[in-house]
Structure 1
Amino acid sequence: MPTPETLPRHELIGLPVRVADATHDGYVGLGGRVVDETTRTLAVDGSGTGVRQVPKAAATFEFRLPGTGDDAPAHGARGADQFVTVAGERLVARPARRTEHRGDSIWR
């Protein structure tokens, strides 16, 4: 399960997302589910607005991680949703390569 610290290393497709900030005002507030990912873009399917390509490097994203809040019980039941803000620059990479790197090792 992704955590705020490890989210950039996990699969993003399927996660609910909202564009919190962007260099282009047309992207700010855009939300939905991530349906595809390329090296430089996230494809976001908003309800009724269709699929929009959002450049990763030009935006800050807010992902919703379901049931991972501090009040999540240890026995596996779902807790409150947690929102994680990630600068898009941290996500710019081929998805397969981005998920391979841990990011906290000095040896990679």
Structure 2
Amino acid sequence: MITADNIVSHEFIGLHTEIIQSTNPQVVGLNGRIINETKSMFSINTEKGVKSIAKSTNSWKFSIGGKEIVIAGSKITKRPFDRIGGKA
């Protein structure tokens, strides 16, 4: 089960996210469901189609169990299977 305490070590595919801070001001506020993840990118299904966004240059907001969690992209820039299971 994903919680605020262990989200970094879980899979992000299927979660809704929003970019709340970025080195690229044009993507701030972009939100949608994560449909794919690589070491350095999220593919997000937005209202305007699928967007591929670099993880490391953004701060990501997730809602887990009624709590809003903000994660710096630099903390999740690993391959998903390297993070899963607490290797983060």
In the alignment, which residue of structure 2 is the partner of 1:78?
none
Letter in 2 for 1:43: S
In the alignment, which residue of structure 2 is the partner of 1:99?
84
Partners of 2:46 and 2:22 in 1: CA distance: 17
In the alignment, which residue of structure 1 is the partner of 2:55?
56
Q: Percent of pairs identical after alignment?
A: 27
Q: How far did residue 3 of structure 1 move?
A: 1.3
Structure 2: which 5+ runs fail to align? none
Q: Number of residue pairs matched?
A: 88
In the alignment, which residue of structure 1 is the partner of 2:43?
43
Q: How far did residue 101 of structure 1 move?
A: 3.0
Residue 25 (str. 1) matches residue 25 (str. 2): yes
Larger radius of gyration: 1
Q: Which runs of 4+ in 1 moved over 4 A?
A: none
Q: How far did residue 100 of structure 1 move?
A: 3.2
Question: Whose relative contact order is higher, 1 or 2, with alpha carbons under 8 Å and at least 6 apart?
Answer: 2
In the alignment, which residue of structure 2 is the partner of 1:3?
3
What's the RMSD between the two structures over aligned residues? 1.1
Letter in 1 for 2:34: V
What is the TM-score with the length of structure 2 in the denominator? 0.92
Larger strand proportion of the pair = 2
State the secondary structure of the residue aligned to 1:100. Answer: coil
